[in-house]
Amino acid sequence: IAARLEDKENDIRLVAIEALQGRADLPEKMLEGIAARLEDEDRDVRQAAIFALRGRADLPEKLLEGIAARLEDEDGDVRQAAIEALRGRADLPEKLLEGIAARLEDEDRDVRQAAIFALRGRTDLPEKLLEGIAARLEDKDWDVRQAAIFALQGRADLPEKMLKGIAARLEDKDGDHGSRIKTGLSDRQQSLPFEAEPTSPRRC
């Protein structure tokens, strides 16, 4: 199967990756073979390679960097897959965190939202990256704004400027979401001025 990772047919390479995905007993050589497909000419193959490497605790830094390189992929779905593959890993160096944070300004709203989710809950975020999340409180897409609020909620280290940004979004006109958001805020954030809005159709 591993030999088919080099097949000239895109579909065969894709099937080979999918056949190896989820196997816990893959030697490093096969992992490197999958990682080589991160630069495949076919976007489905690149995405499948990311999925196959996602969640593996045994990935050397070189392969993590290969996934991180796809944060700059021309295809939005591949960029999103790369972010989700890096999400939740405690071993990410600051350089890779900055790579994810750069996608907070991606043209694709799903990629921006995925970047927020990937950074959410990390205690090792420098203020610069927190500011990047806070900037998304002004995003044109409601789901991205909501993700930014939830990523910042409960943090005791937020400067006053960010708290004011959250307060502004608690008065967002997109339905009754504000009241649900307020439920998850920290005690400090609960003191922000808030008035629930009546339900209305969602707008972006």
Q: Supply the CATH number for residue 22's domain.
A: 1.25.10.10
Rg, Å, the chain Cα set: 20
- Reduced to 3 states, what is the DSSP secondary structure of residue 152? helix
Q: Are residues 109 and 79 in the same domain?
A: no
Enumerate helices (H) and strands (E) in the chain, giving the number of each: 12, 0
Together in a domain, 108 and 191: yes
Q: What percent of the chain has pLDDT over 70?
A: 83
Domain identity same for 113 and 61: no
Q: 65 with 108, same domain? A: no
**Residue 171: which pLDDT band, with cuts at 50, 70 and 90?**
low
- Strand stretches in the chain, DSSP E: none
Residue 98 lies in a domain: no
Whether residue 57 is found in the same domain as residue 129: no
99 domain residue, yes or no: no
Is the entire prediction scored with pTM above 0.85? no
Q: How many other C-beta atoms can be found within 10 angstroms of the C-beta atom of residue 55?
A: 13
Whether 48 is covered by a domain: the verdict is yes
Q: How far apart are CA 44 and CA 40, in angstroms?
A: 9
Whether 73 and 127 share a structural domain: no
Q: Which of 88, 69, 138, 145 is nearest to 113 (CA)?
A: 145
The tokens describing 72, both together, are 């700059």
> Would residue 179 count as lying in a domain?
yes
| Boundaries of domain holding 53 | 1-86
Based on the fold, state whether residues 78 and 174 are members of the same structural domain.
Answer: no
Q: Please, is 98 exposed, middle or buried when counting C-beta atoms within 10 Å of its C-beta (0-12, 13-18, 19+)?
A: middle
pLDDT in tens, 80-110: 999 999 998 988 888 999 999 999 999 999 9
Last residue of a domain, one of 36, 58, 86: 86
Query: 30-76 pLDDT, tens per residue?
Result: 999 999 999 999 999 999 999 999 988 878 889 999 999 999 999 99
Report the chain's terminal Cα–Cα distance, integer Å.
Answer: 45
Could you tell me if 119 and 183 lie in one domain?
A: yes
| Contact (Cβ atoms closer than 8 angstroms) between residue 85 and residue 54 | yes
Structurally, the chain folds into a number of domains equal to 2
| Separation CA 37–CA 67 (nearest Å) | 10
* Inter-CA distances, 157 with 97, 111, 145, 161, Å: 19, 26, 20, 12
| pLDDT exceeds cutoff 50 at 197 | no
Structure-block tokens of residue 65: 């960097």
Q: Report the mean per-residue pLDDT for the chain.
A: 84
Q: Within a domain: residue 77?
A: yes
Alpha carbons 151 and 129: distance in angstroms, whole number: 12
- Tell me the pLDDT tens digit for each residue of 172-195: 655 444 444 444 444 444 444 433
92: in domain: no
